[in-house]
Structure 1
Amino acid sequence: MIDNKVNDYKQYGENNIRENYRKLTRLLIFKGLTITTMESATSGQIASLITDTEGSSAVFKGAFVTYCNEAKIMQGVPAEIIDKYTVYSKETAGAMAKACRKAYNANIGIGVTGTMGNVDPANPNASVPGQVYFAIDIDGDVEAYYVELPPQPTRLAYKLAVAEEIYEELVKRLV
């Protein structure tokens, strides 16, 4: 796994993000690549953005929304990774990306975990608002990323900001 810190001083625009995901879905269709997600902090937003484009059923295999630690473990994230590194870590994000890619036999797995606007009461010692970890697994090659988001006005705005960061890193690896 490679740890990359993503630029944290950006403006995010919903229309641009939605258009980027239309481009991504079309690129996946063109390349014949399948994709899946295991999302915690974004609670299915990435999957939703991918499937907003007509024809996405050709490339989108399914997704897991694993909001609590137990759900991540049930879907294949080793409990030892969460125990050792915390749920908010590049290691957990990487394990999430691997687990969903394997579960759906997809080319690409996206794992995302982190804290949006407030401290997680179930994981208060590891939860820092604005810190998000995500990983992209392409055919077994996993890269993990860390981003510190500036305060956003809504939960949706946080989810879209993370989606944009994931989009940018995934496209770099696909083109």
Structure 2
Amino acid sequence: MEKIYNESDIRYDYRKLTKLLIERGMTITTMESATSGQIASLITDTEGSSAVLKGAFVTYCNEAKIMQGVPAEILEKYTVYSKETAEAMAKACVKTYEANIGIGVTGTMGNIDPANPEASVPGQVYFAIVLNGKVQSYYVELVPQPTRLAYKLAVAKEVYDALMERM
């Protein structure tokens, strides 16, 4: 069955998440590539989010990932589109910001990445969540979405669902 991603529902979910983090006194950070900051943006749409979002990285190119603490060897060995890279991204942002939760997202949205054509498959997304020091990675295959924003929101929903299962 094909999943339907509804923007207003996703925005509502992230308001609930931000309020829950505020209530629990927990902090969160992201290192986003494919979603280019969409998850951090959704978190900050709720008043009081400055208490929970310590900072975030948009690392669209490999050099940016490496600059923010992702080991170059991981990118070389597993490619930028891998669970290992997503895990390294989540670990790196948690370490930098000393947050309770770190989210790393990498993948290919609607088209093949010209910089990594052999490794990119449209709709394949890897993400990882570090929660209180424990990392878990995930893989999703998205059906074609009508816009880039729709892809980003779909990934944000998948991340939200996975995080809420662990909270």
Q: Could you say which residue in structure 1 is the equivalent of 2:125?
A: 132
Taking structure 1 as the reference length, the TM-score comes to 0.94
Amino acid at match of 1:94: E
In the TM superposition, structure 1's runs of 4+ consecutive aligned residues that sit over 2 Å from their partners are none
Q: CA separation in 1, counterparts of 2:136 and 2:120?
A: 22
Percent of pairs with identical residues: 79
Q: Could you say which residue in structure 1 is the equivalent of 2:41?
A: 48
The answer to whether structure 1 residue 78 and structure 2 residue 71 are counterparts is yes
Q: Does the 8 Å CA contact 1:88/1:132 hold for their aligned counterparts? A: yes
Q: CA separation in 1, counterparts of 2:100 and 2:148?
A: 29
CA shift, 1:87, in A, is 0.2
Work out which structure has the larger RCO, using CA pairs closer than 8 Å and 6 or more positions apart in sequence.
1
Which of 9, 19, 42 is the equivalent residue of 2:2?
Answer: 9
Amino acid at match of 1:50: I
Question: Alignment length, in residue pairs?
Answer: 167
The answer to whether structure 1 residue 65 and structure 2 residue 58 are counterparts is yes
Q: How does 1:155-170 map to 2 (within 5 A)?
A: 155-170=148-163
Q: CA separation in 1, counterparts of 2:22 and 2:133?
A: 20
CA shift, 1:171, in A, is 0.6
CA shift digits 1:40-93 (9 cap, x unpaired): 000000000000000000111000000000000000000000100000000000
The answer to whether structure 1 residue 121 and structure 2 residue 114 are counterparts is yes
Q: CA separation in 1, counterparts of 2:118 and 2:133?
A: 31
Unpaired runs of 5+ residues, structure 1, are: 1-7
Q: CA separation in 1, counterparts of 2:73 and 2:103?
A: 20
Q: CA separation in 1, counterparts of 2:118 and 2:102?
A: 28
Q: CA separation in 1, counterparts of 2:131 and 2:101?
A: 5
Unpaired runs of 5+ residues, structure 2, are: none
CA shift, 1:156, in A, is 0.1
Which of 144, 147, 152 is the equivalent residue of 2:145?
Answer: 152
Q: CA separation in 2, counterparts of 1:133 and 1:9?
A: 19
Q: Does the 8 Å CA contact 1:9/1:149 hold for their aligned counterparts? A: no
SS in 2 for 1:111: strand
Q: Could you say which residue in structure 2 is the equivalent of 1:97?
A: 90
